Amino acid sequence: MGGLEQLKEWVEESSNIVFFGGAGVSTESGIPDFRSVDGLYNQQYDYPPETIISHSFYKKHPEEFFRFYKDRMVFTGAKPNAAHRVLARWEEEGKLRAVVTQNIDGLHQAAGSREVMELHGSIHRNYCTRCGRFYGLEEILAMDGVPRCGCGGTIKPDVVLYEEGLDQGILQKAVSYIRHADMLIIGGTSLVVYPAAGLVNYYQGNKLVIVNKSVTPVDNQADLVVTGKIGEVFSKLMEE
Ligand code: NAD
């Protein structure tokens, strides 16, 4: 695993790390990503995943949307892996300022991270589209088919679907953290989903690190590329 020693040294020196991650951060927790060969996009469904998890599909075919969503996007048994745990520890130690994630699984918070910008929302928050009442994950999973509120409205997960915009407040906060970071570590993301992928352009420092299993479009801009599984790489960082 080339570059590990360099990464270790930079982490030791740093007090303002920002981490920006995606689905690859949670694959070692048993949640499939979208674009690996065994990821969601390569499994067989009547429609491609990006069609099913779009706003128009959700409106037109809510039954099918929730069938896919509950079956393929919610993994209740998943536990944080070493990558989530190390990031939480760095925050505790005052090395890391924030985690910016495209994931919706809540595993960073489960590991103890506090400053987490969830660009694409979370499966753990659900709201009635009519009266706004809040529902937790367990409650909607216990409902068959399309989850409905007592008022008759549909309950929608607080997850950003394709065709929907990102929360501007969260995006601005993420931009600000990245702009001021002394080190930006990007991990487990194919960096192809916009506008999230464009965040890397706000980084102004000289320690841009990519930790990913496969090549990304920003490898050539990076100061260091570590190729490997992020949970394994991060566990090695903690070894003496
Ligand atoms: P992606 O599926 O497009 O890309 C995942 C990337 O991570 C790939 O480059 C892959 O090579 C890499 N990867 C996979 N396992 C890895 C590992 N163990 N270590 C290091 N790298 C690894 O994911 P994306 O870029 O996050 O974009 C897809 C969208 O899918 C996001 O918007 C996200 O909201 C959503 N999504 C979320 C989850 C989740 O919450 N866990 C899961 C699937 C998809």
pLDDT band at 5 (very low <50, low <70, confident <90, very high): very high
Render pLDDT for 17-32 as a digit per residue (tens, 0 to 9): 999 999 999 999 999 8
Distance of CA 214 to the CA centre of its chain: 17
Question: Which atom of ligand 1 has the smallest separation from the CA of 160?
Answer: 34
How close is the Cα of 130 to the center of ligand 1, in Å? 32
How close is the Cα of 204 to the center of ligand 1, in Å? 25
pLDDT of residue 195: 80
Q: Taking the model in full, what pTM does it have?
A: 0.95
Using alpha carbons, list the distances in angstroms from residue 236 to 140, 147, 194, 225, 240: 39, 43, 31, 15, 9
Tell me which residues have their CB closer than 6 angstroms to ligand 1. 22-24, 26-28, 31, 33-36, 39, 102-105, 120, 188-190, 193, 212-214, 229-231
**Pocket residue to mutate for ligand 1, from 34, 40, 76, most atoms within 8 A of Cβ:** 34
pLDDT of residue 48: 82
Give the mean model confidence (pLDDT) for residues 79-105.
Answer: 97
pLDDT band at 174 (very low <50, low <70, confident <90, very high): very high
Residue nearest to atom 32 of ligand 1 (CA): 102
Is the pLDDT confidence value at 240 over 60?
Answer: no
How close is the Cα of 165 to the center of ligand 1, in Å? 19
Residue 52's φ and ψ, nearest 5 degrees, are -65, -40
pLDDT of residue 114: 98
- 48 vs 150 pLDDT, higher one: 150
pLDDT of residue 145: 93
Is the pLDDT confidence value at 118 over 60?
Answer: yes
Tally Cβ neighbours within 10 Å of residue 104: 23
- 213: alpha, beta or left? (left if phi > 0; alpha if psi -120 to 50): alpha
pLDDT band at 1 (very low <50, low <70, confident <90, very high): low
Residue type, 46: D
Over the chain, what is the mean pLDDT? 93
Give the lowest-confidence range in 34-43, 50-59, 129-138, 206-215: 34-43
Give the mean model confidence (pLDDT) for residues 207-226.
Answer: 96
Rounded CA separation 60/94 (Å): 47
Residue type, 210: I
Render pLDDT for 22-78 as a digit per residue (tens, 0 to 9): 999 999 999 988 876 666 666 667 788 888 999 999 999 999 999 999 988 999 999
How close is the Cα of 151 to the center of ligand 1, in Å? 36
Give the mean model confidence (pLDDT) for residues 148-152.
Answer: 96
Give the mean model confidence (pLDDT) for residues 158-166.
Answer: 95
Residue type, 8: K
pLDDT of residue 238: 84
List active site positions: 120
Give the mean model confidence (pLDDT) for residues 158-162.
Answer: 96
pLDDT of residue 192: 87
pLDDT of residue 239: 77
